[in-house]
Amino acid sequence: MKRILLAYLILAASAAIAQSAPVDLNAPQQASTPQLKATRPAASDPAQQITLPTGTKLPLALKHAITTKSARDGDAVYAETTFPVVVNDQVIIPAGAYVQGAISNVKRPGRVKGRAEILVHFNTLIFPNGYTLLLPGAVDNVPGMDNGKMKDKEGTIQGDGQKGKDAARIAEAAGTGGLIGAAADGGKGAAIGGAGGGVIGLAAVLLSRGPDLRLEAGSTIETVLERPITVDIARAKLKQ
């Protein structure tokens, strides 16, 4: 009876082993890896976002000089805000923020006509903590500039002309020639000398350019927003 029971148990164990899937001990075993779910970054709190409208002005100070004598299209322009922009008793853009832009167009003065011109557009605003925004800004005014003016709404700065100076140079050359001619041959010589001096003065004007436009480092520039920008108060780490 014991032998029959033992044989039955052996047969049952063999059948169970035969039904199980074979295992290849030489096959590489794949380690189970935890499945990670992608997470989205937390959305900014709309309550901490302030939008500055088109037309908002930012007072800036140039960090370096700009002159039409050496400037080229595409040259970088660096400036810094000099006064905070405040909305509802809240500082939105602090003084000391960095502003970067580029020269869009530069024109040297002509020899006969044409004034010096320079066009600058600002494109980047960097807060003191490194928070960066696109800044669609154009020059609106250059307070205190005594050798030029704003030409158009695009932000072109135009240098002064020198018609009066040119006339003075011609007259001065004519007067000098007249004096020399008078000393040499009286009245007739004065007329000839004056005419010759006028020609020389005119030639000097035609061969020389007008004055270049120059903005010194520290010059104040007002830039105006051409499109609205939204400032995240939390990311800018502004006090509320």
In whole angstroms, give the CA distance from residue 136 to residue 21.
69
In whole angstroms, give the CA distance from residue 122 to residue 132.
13
| pLDDT, position 82 | 97
| pLDDT, position 40 | 46
Average pLDDT over residues 21-42: 50
Q: Under CATH, which number does the domain 46-161+211-236 receive?
A: 2.40.128.260
CA atoms within 13 A on the CB side of 220: 10
- Percent of the chain's residues with pLDDT above 90: 48
Is 170's pLDDT higher than 50?
A: no
In whole angstroms, give the CA distance from residue 230 to residue 235.
12
Q: Where are the domains of the chain?
A: 46-161+211-236, 163-209
SS (H, E, C) 20-37: CCCCCCCCCCCCCCCCCC
* CA distance to 69, 87, 196, 199, 236, per residue, from 48 (Å): 46, 13, 75, 70, 10
- 34-69 pLDDT tens trace: 554 544 445 567 768 999 999 999 999 999 999 999
| pLDDT, position 179 | 45
Tell me whether residue 33 is exposed, middle or buried, using C-beta atoms within 10 angstroms of its C-beta: 0 to 12, 13 to 18, 19 or more.
exposed
- 111-162 pLDDT tens trace: 656 899 999 999 999 999 999 999 999 999 999 887 888 888 888 999 876 5
In whole angstroms, give the CA distance from residue 69 to residue 87.
40
Average pLDDT over residues 186-191: 52
In whole angstroms, give the CA distance from residue 181 to residue 190.
4
| 3-class secondary structure, 189 | helix
CA atoms within 13 A on the CB side of 34: 3
- Percent of the chain's residues with pLDDT above 70: 59
Is 215's pLDDT higher than 60?
A: yes
- 65-83 pLDDT tens trace: 999 999 999 999 999 999 9
In this structure, the chain runs to a length of 240
CA atoms within 13 A on the CB side of 78: 6
User: Is this model's pTM higher than 0.85 or not?
Assistant: no
| pLDDT, position 236 | 92
Tell me whether residue 223 is exposed, middle or buried, using C-beta atoms within 10 angstroms of its C-beta: 0 to 12, 13 to 18, 19 or more.
buried
| pLDDT, position 67 | 95
